[in-house]
Structure 1
Amino acid sequence: MTVDGSRIHYQQYNAGDADKPGLLFVHGMWAHLHWWDHIVPFFLDRFRIVAIDLGGMGDSETRPEYSAQGFRDEIIAVLEDAGLAPATVVAHSFGATPAVFACGRRPDLIARAVIVDSRLNIPTAPGPLPDKSDRMPYKRLYADPAEAISRYRLIPPGGTVPTDVLRHVASHGLRKEDAGWVWKFDLAIDPQLFHSPAGLIPAGIVTPIDYIFGEESKSVPRAHAMAIGDYLPNCGVPIGLPGAGHHILLEDPELLVSVLRAVLSRPV
């Protein structure tokens, strides 16, 4: 589908289950929809599931410029195109800001949202936002997929990811160019894009939101997670996962599945 002139890719896992409530998964920075592949199967019995490749990542096209509002509109467009509404949206890290923006823009489309380890930009943040040290410095070329996969590292570092899971997300993140193999994400996307006034989470988001964070996350200090819970008017008490880092969905898929099941079993 096309959103504001760029092709946006999404995947439907069980489109025939039209009677089930909708569930949309949104990935984080420099990622793609296959980051959710070890989570999705555990929810097919209850939900009709879709996952999105945000613009400039995965199999979606790049954009001349990127913004929270642009990513928000992609999420809204996918919800409408796939006929998921009223849906649950589960978003990790970078994907959480546009997901929350979508809640504010189109509350009719989103019944509830679950945010996973995202340092949302809120005016009541207890400390400074991180610097730009996570920015990718240059485009890397690899002779073949094996070389690229062997050098794949998560940003930020931290936590232990099973080898098969890491290889899976790395292999789905590559594309072939004439000069060699490259990662699919657009280096023009600033990882600190939302840490500006334009990325500030607006007050008064009424959509029910649950917030999950890793107790060992290098991205979201506990104090910031608690501040998010206080700031969002319809947010439950933030849920800290002991031993979990920022990349919870890769580090321990079973743990995240168990928590999501508990959260999504509660009535809105």
Structure 2
Amino acid sequence: MAQLEVEGAVLAYDDEGPRDGQGPPLVFVHGWTANRHRWDHQSAHFSAERRVIRLDLRGHGDSTGAGVGAVDDLAQDVLTLLDHLKVDRCVLVGHSMGGMIAQTIALARPDLVDRLVLVDSISRMTYSRGRGLLMAASTLVPFKPFVAANIQRAFAPGYPREEVRKYIEASAATPKEVVMTDYGAMRAFDVLDRVGEIEAPTLIVHGFHDIQLPLKQMLRMAKAYPNAVVRIIDAGHELPVEKPAELTEALDRFLAPARG
């Protein structure tokens, strides 16, 4: 693990694999209350052949810092890290909130993004009845039950309860101020009317049972992309940990033409 001081925070990150590997570096961005280890399976697979970069967003995992008011601010942290690492072209992979960050970067810096991968993410936050009730309750219930309710419903039915509990505990360890502020940033996120500007080849991977960011919302986003392919996997919202091998395989297929 390495660290980089940015404005108001210290970011923890891993930079692995050969600098002269096959294709542009892979840059992985995790989601809300998660950390860079969501990508352990993908990092282990791809870092044998190409450079792999993954970070803990500010206030998450091993990174310090307070929450921010907009996804744009989180995107700026990622851009600062990539500039520090002298990355001028990459494959950007984002899960959930990380996908929102990835889209923000792709719109702001199209020169930087060779390919884009969105995992269980959307371009505009629109809430189901259940998510709306959770939002309304967020200011009324204690912090840990609020986090537990969100993480519990992120997994597909039948996922081992003990494993779910581990992720609930890890998410609840994220500072409350970071959790709630970033939650607000996601609520305000909306680039749906702009994603038609993203020309980079795009892979959209989504869990069939995702009720956090439902399939219908993702399909509305996918229709707006000019150069996207969609892969649906039998999982919930936490694809990187529910079906890591299937996600890696989808990435591998998508990246294969770039290997020449």
* Shorter-chain TM band: 0.7 to 0.9
- TM-score, length-normalised on structure 1? 0.77
Instruction: Tell me the alpha carbon deviations over residues 34-93 of structure 1, each in whole angstroms, 9 at most, x when there is no partner.
Output: 111122111112321111111221122223633111011011112222233311111101
The letter for the 1-side match of 2:204 is: Y
Answering whether residue 226 of structure 2 is matched by residue 233 of structure 1, we say yes
Q: C-alpha distance in 2, partners of 1:128/1:206?
A: 33
Q: C-alpha distance in 1, partners of 2:70/2:226?
A: 24
What is the root-mean-square deviation of aligned Cα atoms in Å?
3.2
State which of 3, 7, 17 in structure 1 corresponds to 2:6: 3
Q: C-alpha distance in 2, partners of 1:24/1:95?
A: 11
Instruction: Tell me the alpha carbon deviations over residues 9-33 of structure 1, each in whole angstroms, 9 at most, x when there is no partner.
Output: 211233xx11023111111111011
The letter for the 2-side match of 1:65 is: V
State which of 103, 107, 110 in structure 2 corresponds to 1:104: 107
Give the 3 Å change call, closer, same or farther, for CA 126–53 of structure 1 in structure 2. closer
Answering whether residue 63 of structure 2 is matched by residue 60 of structure 1, we say yes
Larger helix percent:
2
The CA deviation at 1:169 is: 5.9
Q: C-alpha distance in 1, partners of 2:88/2:129?
A: 36
Instruction: Tell me the alpha carbon deviations over residues 88-146 of structure 1, each in whole angstroms, 9 at most, x when there is no partner.
Output: 11110111111110011112222111000113217xx7988942616485455xxxxxx
Which runs of structure 2 are paired with 1:140-151 in the superposition (5 Å)? none
Aligned to 1:51, what secondary structure does the other structure show? Answer: strand
- Which 5+ residue runs of structure 1 have no aligned equivalent? 141-150, 175-181
Aligned to 1:85, what secondary structure does the other structure show? Answer: coil
Give the 3 Å change call, closer, same or farther, for CA 200–194 of structure 1 in structure 2. farther
State which of 81, 87, 91 in structure 1 corresponds to 2:90: 87
Answering whether residue 41 of structure 2 is matched by residue 38 of structure 1, we say yes
The CA deviation at 1:192 is: 4.7
1:184: which partner in 2? 174
State which of 151, 155, 158 in structure 2 corresponds to 1:158: 155
2:187: which partner in 1? 195
1:75: which partner in 2? 78
Q: C-alpha distance in 2, partners of 1:61/1:126?
A: 30
The CA deviation at 1:163 is: 7.7
The letter for the 1-side match of 2:252 is: R
The letter for the 1-side match of 2:257 is: R
The letter for the 2-side match of 1:183 is: A
Moved more, 218-227 or 101-110: 218-227
Give the 3 Å change call, closer, same or farther, for CA 228–18 of structure 1 in structure 2. same
2:201: which partner in 1? 208
Q: C-alpha distance in 2, partners of 1:218/1:76?
A: 30
Give the 3 Å change call, closer, same or farther, for CA 152–27 of structure 1 in structure 2. same
Check conservation: 2:6, 2:80, Cα contact below 8 A: yes
1:146: which partner in 2? none
Give the 3 Å change call, closer, same or farther, for CA 31–44 of structure 1 in structure 2. same
Give the 3 Å change call, closer, same or farther, for CA 222–129 of structure 1 in structure 2. same
Answering whether residue 212 of structure 2 is matched by residue 219 of structure 1, we say yes
Give the 3 Å change call, closer, same or farther, for CA 199–152 of structure 1 in structure 2. closer
The CA deviation at 1:167 is: 7.8
Check conservation: 2:155, 2:164, Cα contact below 8 A: no
- Which 5+ residue runs of structure 2 have no aligned equivalent? none
Check conservation: 1:94, 1:118, Cα contact below 8 A: yes
State which of 23, 27, 31 in structure 2 corresponds to 1:24: 27
- TM-score, length-normalised on structure 2? 0.79
Instruction: Tell me the alpha carbon deviations over residues 196-221 of structure 1, each in whole angstroms, 9 at most, x when there is no partner.
Output: 2x543434122322101111111233
1:258: which partner in 2? 249
Check conservation: 1:76, 1:106, Cα contact below 8 A: no
Q: C-alpha distance in 1, partners of 2:245/2:163?
A: 12
